[in-house]
Chains A and B, each alone.
Chain A
Amino acid sequence: MQCVTSKILSVCDLGEEYYRIILERPENMVFSPGQFVSVMDQNSPDLLRRPFSVASQTQREILLLIKEVGKMTKRLRKSSPGDCLSVMGPLGKGFDTSGQNKALLIGGGVGIAPLLGLSQELDAQGRDYLCLLGFRDECEPAKLFKKTNLRIHRETKEPGFVTDLLKEVLQEGVEVFACGPLPMLKAVRSMCMEAGVPSQLSLEEKMACGIGACIGCAVPVKNNSGTVYKKVCSDGPVFRGEELAWE
């Protein structure tokens, strides 16, 4: 793990809500799918860094897919090539990609970010997979994904949610990977548990340190004596659906 300055190479809109930032990849910072960075812009008026999944990486670059929701995501969108960011990473434990079964990748909104890198990893492994991406309306970011094995659900076009697509294809012998809004993750988890299918869910929680020191990013997880709180930033952000102690 390092904390270094990295240059912004490009900022590019993906519709109204989303944009992507390409950063110079700091030397020796290598990410596995599902890991994240926490960043801070120079002269930031905010106290805390912000966590973002590394959506994909190449030898020289890392790509962040960002949804504008507030202060820093607004500022980052206005940044220009050459501006510097302080980048801390690689953070967290990513997806376990050691399985062999067909993979179903379910993403909702900006939650598709970590699935991009995951899909690229599965491509490299030659593992069979299908991406199901759900959006409220705009689905520009889906263009980052390979068109083969991709299905998109837009709530404004079709009634229902992306989990309805999952219902159609969920069967024994697959493995599910998901990231998105909490209600989506809860639905995915219970569908998978009912179908006896293993799932890996990438969670979000407010973070302060991002490295496991402050215990601020708690998520309830089952253990033999009930539940304990684990840390989303360092024990996760990816957890197995079965281990989570959500009501």
Chain B
Amino acid sequence: MGVNTLLRTTIGTLELKNPVTVASGTFGCGREFAQFFDLSILGAVSVKGITLEPRKGNPPPRLHETPMGLLNSIGLQNPGVEHFIREEIPFLRRYDTKIIANINGNTIEEYRELSSILNREDVDAIELNVSCPNVKEGGMVFGTDKEMLRRAVRAVRSVVTKCLIVKLSPNVTSIADMARICQEEGADAISLVNTFSGMAIDVQSGRPVFHLVGAGMSGPAIKPLALKKVYDVYQAVEVPILGMGGISSGDDAVEFLLAGSSAIAVGTAMFSNPLLPVEILRYLKSFTRAKKMGVEHITGLAHRGGFS
């Protein structure tokens, strides 16, 4: 088998030439990173979270570094779906990579309207983000309340014919239960994890660092937690998984595949190493060749006795 066939994978109805994608919100719409590498090497790009109307975002501070982790409270700042359609889709279409539109809303109605708009546009998949911890309304409630999640997925599924990925929050008692609900409601794939809910307190002022108190934790510090969530979800559902959370090396990416991911997303770790997706892709090429095994066979192998 050629290298290219070894790397091929699918998430639901979305066929990817390789499993390396980038996580929503860490990559903008690709323009900045395009200065460092050719976006066509990526299997897919999940763009910064989109809303129906422009969002102003949260007041600063929005970032706080922790040991090998990052707390963020961006608040979904984005110029709205119209701008995305007019400016960003044509930009990304210049590259040979799939476009995943990450959608966000405050109400079921908003999710439905936004997804039906994007379903008519030239994107390859819709990623329903029900797990943003950084907005006051909506956001994470859809990802942490079973009934709300069911209603959100059902509403969006009823208007989306493209590949529908639901992005789950790790801030739940049983992520497997949430994944089952997504599968029952017809999601094509599941992406996980979004950020863990966390906080920091400024010891000088004695007050929380962030205005909304809580913030989303990402980066290498969450990797073992995220990996376990992927492992658990793989056992619970049939639908494929787009795995992420703290991936910062080729070995991390392989771990996520072994735990059950059909593809992986790189996020926070790209901030210090913008070429990380290129390095991970190179690593996966040699890894699959050395193991004489394609990505599709490596996916979930930790559940089946590993390489032997």
Identify the A interface with B (CB < 8 A): 1, 3, 40, 44-49, 88, 205-220, 227-229, 234
Instruction: Judge if B162 is at the interface, Cβ distance under 8 Å.
Output: no
Q: How far is the CA of A88 from the CA of B62 in the complex (A)?
A: 22
21 residue pairs bridging A and B, Cβ less than 8 Å apart: A3-B273, A47-B68, A47-B69, A47-B70, A47-B219, A47-B220, A47-B269, A47-B271, A205-B60, A205-B61, A206-B63, A206-B65, A208-B72, A214-B28, A214-B72, A215-B57, A215-B74, A216-B62, A216-B63, A216-B74, A220-B59
Among B31, B56, B220, B273, which residue has its beta carbon within 8 angstroms of that of A228? Answer: B56
Chain A residues near B273 (CB-CB < 8 A)? 3
Q: How far is the CA of A213 from the CA of B31 in the complex (A)?
A: 8
Chain B residues near A88 (CB-CB < 8 A)? 274
> What is the size, in residues, of chain B's interface with A at 8 Å between Cβ atoms?
38
Q: How far is the CA of A214 from the CA of B220 in the complex (A)?
A: 17
Chain B residues near A49 (CB-CB < 8 A)? 271-272
Contact B70 A48 (CB under 8 A): yes
Please give the distance in Å from B211's CB to the nearest CB on chain A: 12
Chain B residues near A212 (CB-CB < 8 A)? 28, 31-32
Q: How far is the CA of A46 from the CA of B35 in the complex (A)?
A: 24
Chain B residues near A208 (CB-CB < 8 A)? 63, 70, 72, 268, 271
Q: How far is the CA of A216 from the CA of B64 in the complex (A)?
A: 10
Contact B77 A217 (CB under 8 A): no
Name the prevailing secondary structure of the B interface residues.
loop
Chain A residues near B77 (CB-CB < 8 A)? 215, 218, 229
Closest partner residue, chain A, to B74 (CB atom): A215
Q: How far is the CA of A203 from the CA of B68 in the complex (A)?
A: 26
Q: How far is the CA of A190 from the CA of B186 in the complex (A)?
A: 58
Closest partner residue, chain B, to A88 (CB atom): B274
Q: How far is the CA of A224 from the CA of B35 in the complex (A)?
A: 32
Which B residues between 43 and 87 are near A, CB-CB below 8 angstroms?
A: 48, 56-65, 67-70, 72, 74, 77
Chain A residues near B28 (CB-CB < 8 A)? 212-215
Known contacts A208-B70, A228-B56, A229-B57; A217 and B272 CB within 8 A of each other = no
Please give the distance in Å from A233's CB to the nearest CB on chain B: 10
Closest partner residue, chain A, to B54 (CB atom): A228
Please give the distance in Å from A79's CB to the nearest CB on chain B: 18
Known contacts A206-B64, A207-B63; A47 and B74 CB within 8 A of each other = no
Chain B residues near A219 (CB-CB < 8 A)? 60
